A and B are shown apart, each in its own frame.
Chain A
Amino acid sequence: MNQNPPVLRYVRYDSARENEYVAAMRQLISKDLSEPYSIYVYRYFLYQWGDLCFLAMDEKDEMVGVVVSKLEPHRGGALRGYIAMLAVREEFRGQGIATKLVRMAIDAMIERDADEIVLETEITNTGAMKLYERLGFLRSKRLHRYYLNGNSAYRLVLYLKEGVSAIRTAFDPFAPPHPTHMEAPTVPVGNTPGNGVI
């Protein structure tokens, strides 16, 4: 246990400081990944939902934690938040930093009228699972070999409003023909094992 827990500042992502922030968060997140996300993944989230990204900075203004998320209607239906990435520097773990960051993201989504929040986490990442379940997330399904390191994942879901499950998704003329569940998927386009990073 740390005798003097460092004083941390929790801030919202600021696009004016993109160069500095993105580099730091990439480093933080890539550390635990066998394969990094491309810069476009970060830009995709930050450009559109920078206000749903929160950072924990130490006294020296170095980044020790980050949460990246998005919020948009799910197939034209419920307003769905998605927590895409969460990472805390190893030596700072166990102090509730990740929980604080996730709470900030959830609160920001609630403020923006989110109906539900979803995410995936590797089943071996018990730290992450405990964190989200403590916050009220439930496992909704298990995803077989979701990450390319061969590990499976759980989809975790948090409903924020009643009646979310009844919100109908819009008709999608480009969606695959029904029923899809017994259809063999098509072309292989492999990619990465993403580790949960807490």
Chain B
Amino acid sequence: MLPNNEVRLPPPRAARAAQSAAVPCDITTQFTEAASKLKTGQLVKDELFTLFEAVGALEIMDSKMDSGYIAPGENHVQALEDDYDVRQPLTPKQVVGLMDQLLCHEMAWHMGHPLSQTLFTSIYLDKLLWPVPKTMEDARFDRVPSESPLISLVLRAYCLALVKACDFVHARIVTEYYYEEEDFVSQLYNRNLLSGLDPSHFFRLLDQAVEWVDSQETMDQDLRDALRCRLLLRHEFLSALDEDLEVLDTRSTDNFVSCLSTLSGITETVAHGTPVPEAFSLKIQRRLASTVPPRPIVHISPEDALAHLKRLCQDAIDMQQMLDYKGPSNFKTAIWSLLSRKPQPSVYIRCLLQALIVSDMTILGAVPVKQFLYDDLAELVLPSSVLLQANTDEVELPSDPRFQIAQKMEGFVKRFSQPFVDTVRAACLNRCRIRRTVCHTVVDWDNLQMEAEELDLDLQRLSDEPPLQMKGGETTFSFPLSSWAYNQKLIQIRRIIQMGFELSIYAPEELAGMYWYLSYICSTHLGHLDRIRTFTVAARKRDLISAGDRSADSQKSAAFHRSFRTLERVTTQLIAVDAFAIALHALYVLLTRHEVLPCAAGADAYSTDRLRYELRMKPFIPISLPELVPFEEFQRESALEGDSDAIILERASKAITEARKAWDVLLSQGAFLEEAGSGSGSGSAGGKEFPSAIEEDWKRDVKDAMRACIGASISIETVRKALGNNPSPSAQQPLNLEVTIPEIGSKSRWHEWWVVPQVSEKKNQ
């Protein structure tokens, strides 16, 4: 269905320019004359009237679209104003109930619903925020405050601290990359979230409120506790949000930890509250500055709201474990693992993390982007290389090759820093957007690789690189920068395919082909890593021959060691993915061949296999390397044409056994690459702890993949058995198998990226 929402449509092209020189003239006569030629009701469409405008249009006097519409007979005052009295006395139970309702609305807003359907339906908040208060004293429910401190102090302090918390959240999100309406609705409807008021006022007010609650000896103890922990939550949450990027300096998790501890108190006392539904009203929407139709109040349960907040706090706490920079691959692993948590960390966390990853061209507030880029190059392709050491400060003679190398490398840094950081930062987008973004950036990286190749040629000459003789006899050079760029691109291609599985993009009949393609990309990547390794080994040999200075050599040796370790880890990972993909590919080929796999497309579908292949390969068509597999080849290879069932079964079994071994090795290597000389055993490197909570995420992910491997083994064995019972299945005598594709979230879908078919014997036959 068409979205009824302009944001989702391509915006109209800017109105044709050249209007600046227009001279106004009276066209009344012409207009009247032209209009007289039209029949009543005849439609005339302006050329510039787009779908965007059509969808954005509202019909005035239609109650479903016009938020200002007042029905015939409806009283004007009643239609706009609520007769809820914010000074009316409330019981402590009601105040607890109100606080929890507000928290639900706050979390619904965090989840992406607009304020107009959540917090801004609260009459209390409306009174606080309109007219816009300039001082703390202005921000009150009524000019004459309620005589009950339960309202004028306790509820007010809660509400004000809540609004201020929203202010911090809003400020952080809107300064980062996020998608309006997908991730978050930033609209404030001309209200101000008390951004001009210093947080200290709020803390003071909360302290007073807590003090008052503590002194109410006649109040039921449970209710006093309930009020108290809610006020404390506001205090701690506000402190935590106030800290924002300062966490890079404070390195404190105290505030979020305190939040978590108050949350358990709140969870236990939700039942003590009595909701006050009449304190929320849709009529407020009519007064908010907006052009959207009236929309219903969003209701989420206290359980969901508390769970969301709890996750937010936990993610924030765990995030702080990765603030120490321990090299590029560890950094990237930590970010990807944290952001791949299910459910995905909230938009606030994702935005905060974006800012921590890079602000002012500095990683984690400590490492210049150039350093990060160089570290990555050193880890993968250029351990201890003159290319990364040259700088124009030490060598000032322009004719010196080292000066020219430094200049070339400066150009490289300028060009590649941003796209490189973006590859890391893209993980902060919502999952759908990650895939869509990578589909775009992979094309950019194709171009970047070509640019890097040009630089490589220059650097080859300047550094006087000796060529290597390859097995075939031809000589070749290392091309480090373009090799590095190609590695980036191959990672992205793999990610596009894998996130396709995660987002349930592929139809069942495509799975054989997609796992074939995944394995094709993995083997291409493995070949590329071999090439890189060959050159690194050669560089190390040269290095050892010409070794002189011993102290410099220990540094060099460490750099090479780290690079070899990195290559080894990436290789292990690729072997694991490759083997599993080969096994699933073979399994799906058998299921397809014997027509037991469910199929989304009907027999009389419009498309052909060739057209569907073209569509599926669309993101890769503009890419020059690796070259697109021609359709005929894809069809032949992905269907394992010419291979007997027995051969394919053998292939599946062997591959899944190898996959299980490889995933085991990967698990034993751990999530993070340790510094050389820090000894074995996980936990510390260079005296600093590795992020253990994030390491747990990483391990869980690997273990889930291993579970999927076991599931695949079982499915393969079931197929083997069925083929044993019926060695030449036919249309008359099909394989006695039932196959289902487990959906994301179902128990038998052990891992998002591994779609293991559930194969079972058909019961009644």
Name the A residues within 8 Å of B183 (CB-CB).
144-145
Partner of A139, one of B62, B177, B426, B505: B505
CB of A188 within 8 A of chain B?
Answer: yes
Name the A residues within 8 Å of B54 (CB-CB).
38, 40-41, 43-44
Name the A residues within 8 Å of B506 (CB-CB).
139
B8 CB, min distance to chain A CBs, angstroms: 6
Question: Is the pair B507, A138 in contact by a Cβ cutoff of 8 Å?
Answer: yes
Question: Is the pair B606, A136 in contact by a Cβ cutoff of 8 Å?
Answer: yes
CB of A84 within 8 A of chain B?
Answer: yes
Flag B1-44 by CB within 8 Å of A: 1 or 0 each: 11111111000011000000000000000000000000001010
Name the B residues within 8 Å of A34 (CB-CB).
296
Name the A residues within 8 Å of B439 (CB-CB).
141
Question: Is the pair B57, A182 in contact by a Cβ cutoff of 8 Å?
Answer: no
Flag A55-98 by CB within 8 Å of B: 1 or 0 each: 00000000000000000000000000000111000000000000
Most chain A CB inside 10 Å of its own CB: which residue of B183, B432, B504: B432
Known contacts A140-B615, A188-B186: A40-B4 contact under CB 8 Å: no
CB of A11 within 8 A of chain B?
Answer: no
Question: Is the pair A35, B612 in contact by a Cβ cutoff of 8 Å?
Answer: no
Partner of A189, one of B51, B56, B179, B607: B56
Question: Is the pair A144, B58 in contact by a Cβ cutoff of 8 Å?
Answer: no
Name the A residues within 8 Å of B761 (CB-CB).
none
Q: How large is the interface on A (under 10, 10 to 19, 20 to 34, 35 or more residues)?
A: 35 or more
Name the A residues within 8 Å of B170 (CB-CB).
none
Within 8 A of B (CB), among A153-169: 153-154, 157-166
Question: Is the pair A35, B64 in contact by a Cβ cutoff of 8 Å?
Answer: yes
Known contacts A133-B507, A136-B607: A147-B5 contact under CB 8 Å: yes
Question: Is the pair B113, A150 in contact by a Cβ cutoff of 8 Å?
Answer: yes
Question: Is the pair A191, B601 in contact by a Cβ cutoff of 8 Å?
Answer: no
Known contacts A140-B618, A162-B614, A174-B14: A179-B440 contact under CB 8 Å: yes
Known contacts A35-B65, A40-B54, A165-B614: A122-B441 contact under CB 8 Å: no
Question: Is the pair B45, A47 in contact by a Cβ cutoff of 8 Å?
Answer: yes
CB of A21 within 8 A of chain B?
Answer: no
Known contacts A139-B505, A160-B611, A162-B610: A189-B6 contact under CB 8 Å: yes
CB of B55 within 8 A of chain A?
Answer: yes
Q: In whole angstroms, what is the CA distance A159 to B616 when docked?
A: 10
Known contacts A43-B43, A150-B112, A184-B178: A191-B5 contact under CB 8 Å: yes
Name the A residues within 8 Å of B41 (CB-CB).
19
Q: In whole angstroms, what is the CA distance A163 to B114 when docked?
A: 42
Measured CB to CB, the nearest residue on chain B to A196 is B1
Measured CB to CB, the nearest residue on chain A to B621 is A165
Question: Is the pair B178, A165 in contact by a Cβ cutoff of 8 Å?
Answer: no
Question: Is the pair B435, A35 in contact by a Cβ cutoff of 8 Å?
Answer: no
Measured CB to CB, the nearest residue on chain A to B176 is A184
Question: Is the pair B615, A159 in contact by a Cβ cutoff of 8 Å?
Answer: yes
Question: Is the pair B57, A40 in contact by a Cβ cutoff of 8 Å?
Answer: yes
CB of B444 within 8 A of chain A?
Answer: yes
Name the B residues within 8 Å of A145 (CB-CB).
112, 181-183
CB of A197 within 8 A of chain B?
Answer: yes
Within 8 A of A (CB), among B425-469: 425-426, 430-433, 435-437, 439-441, 444
Known contacts A44-B54, A139-B506, A184-B178: A164-B614 contact under CB 8 Å: yes
Within 8 A of A (CB), among B273-295: 290-293, 295
Within 8 A of A (CB), among B604-653: 605-607, 610-612, 614-618, 621
Question: Is the pair A144, B431 in contact by a Cβ cutoff of 8 Å?
Answer: yes
Question: Is the pair A134, B601 in contact by a Cβ cutoff of 8 Å?
Answer: yes
Question: Is the pair A183, B177 in contact by a Cβ cutoff of 8 Å?
Answer: yes
A66 CB, min distance to chain B CBs, angstroms: 12
Question: Is the pair B605, A135 in contact by a Cβ cutoff of 8 Å?
Answer: yes
Name the A residues within 8 Å of B186 (CB-CB).
188
B42 CB, min distance to chain A CBs, angstroms: 10
Q: In whole angstroms, what is the CA distance A191 to B291 when docked?
A: 9
CB of A143 within 8 A of chain B?
Answer: yes
Name the B residues within 8 Å of A185 (CB-CB).
7, 179-180
Question: Is the pair A144, B432 in contact by a Cβ cutoff of 8 Å?
Answer: yes
Question: Is the pair B602, A135 in contact by a Cβ cutoff of 8 Å?
Answer: yes
Q: In whole angstroms, what is the CA distance A91 to B185 when docked?
A: 37
CB of A142 within 8 A of chain B?
Answer: yes
Question: Is the pair B53, A40 in contact by a Cβ cutoff of 8 Å?
Answer: yes
Known contacts A41-B2, A143-B432, A174-B14: A134-B605 contact under CB 8 Å: yes
Q: In whole angstroms, what is the CA distance A164 to B182 when docked?
A: 29
B69 CB, min distance to chain A CBs, angstroms: 13
Known contacts A40-B54, A144-B432, A179-B440: A172-B13 contact under CB 8 Å: yes
Name the B residues within 8 Å of A133 (CB-CB).
507, 600-601
Question: Is the pair B600, A130 in contact by a Cβ cutoff of 8 Å?
Answer: yes
Question: Is the pair B64, A174 in contact by a Cβ cutoff of 8 Å?
Answer: no
A109 CB, min distance to chain B CBs, angstroms: 10
Known contacts A162-B610, A181-B440: A85-B1 contact under CB 8 Å: yes
Q: In whole angstroms, what is the CA distance A183 to B177 when docked?
A: 6
Q: In whole angstroms, what is the CA distance A47 to B605 when docked?
A: 30
Q: In whole angstroms, what is the CA distance A121 to B3 when docked?
A: 9
Known contacts A47-B43, A84-B1, A190-B187: A139-B507 contact under CB 8 Å: yes
Name the B residues within 8 Å of A187 (CB-CB).
180
A94 CB, min distance to chain B CBs, angstroms: 16
Measured CB to CB, the nearest residue on chain A to B108 is A150
Partner of A36, one of B64, B113, B181: B64
Name the B residues within 8 Å of A52 (CB-CB).
none
CB of B503 within 8 A of chain A?
Answer: yes
Q: In whole angstroms, what is the CA distance A106 to B2 when docked?
A: 17
CB of A186 within 8 A of chain B?
Answer: yes
Name the A residues within 8 Å of B605 (CB-CB).
134-136
Question: Is the pair A138, B181 in contact by a Cβ cutoff of 8 Å?
Answer: no
Within 8 A of A (CB), among B555-608: 600-602, 605-607
A118 CB, min distance to chain B CBs, angstroms: 10
Q: In whole angstroms, what is the CA distance A145 to B601 when docked?
A: 26
Most chain B CB inside 10 Å of its own CB: which residue of A19, A38, A137, A152: A38
B290 CB, min distance to chain A CBs, angstroms: 8
Measured CB to CB, the nearest residue on chain A to B422 is A182
CB of B549 within 8 A of chain A?
Answer: no
Q: In whole angstroms, what is the CA distance A156 to B356 when docked?
A: 37
Question: Is the pair A106, B606 in contact by a Cβ cutoff of 8 Å?
Answer: yes
Name the A residues within 8 Å of B426 (CB-CB).
182
Q: In whole angstroms, what is the CA distance A16 to B425 when docked?
A: 55
Q: In whole angstroms, what is the CA distance A163 to B615 when docked?
A: 9
Most chain A CB inside 10 Å of its own CB: which residue of B174, B437, B606: B606
Question: Is the pair B178, A120 in contact by a Cβ cutoff of 8 Å?
Answer: no
A161 CB, min distance to chain B CBs, angstroms: 8
Name the A residues within 8 Å of B137 (CB-CB).
none
Flag B533-571 by CB within 8 Å of A: 1 or 0 each: 000000000000000000000000000000000000000
Flag B155-194 by CB within 8 Å of A: 1 or 0 each: 0000000000000000000101111111101110000000
B441 CB, min distance to chain A CBs, angstroms: 7
A13 CB, min distance to chain B CBs, angstroms: 14
Flag B499-528 by CB within 8 Å of A: 1 or 0 each: 000011111001000000000000000000
CB of B393 within 8 A of chain A?
Answer: no
Identify the B interface with A (CB < 8 A): 1-8, 13-14, 41, 43, 45, 49, 51, 53-59, 62, 64-65, 112-114, 174, 176-183, 185-187, 290-293, 295-296, 422, 425-426, 430-433, 435-437, 439-441, 444, 503-507, 510, 600-602, 605-607, 610-612, 614-618, 621
A-B contacts besides A145-B182, A184-B180, 4 pairs, CB < 8 Å = A120-B1, A147-B5, A148-B181, A190-B114
11 A–B pairs (Cβ distance < 8 Å), ordered by A: A34-B296, A35-B295, A40-B49, A43-B43, A85-B2, A140-B505, A141-B436, A159-B611, A184-B176, A188-B185, A190-B5
Identify the A interface with B (CB < 8 A): 19, 33-41, 43-44, 47-48, 84-86, 106, 120-122, 130, 133-148, 150, 152-154, 157-166, 172, 174, 179, 181-197
Q: Which 7 A-B pairs have the closest CB atoms?
A: A136-B605, A192-B4, A136-B607, A191-B5, A133-B600, A144-B432, A134-B602
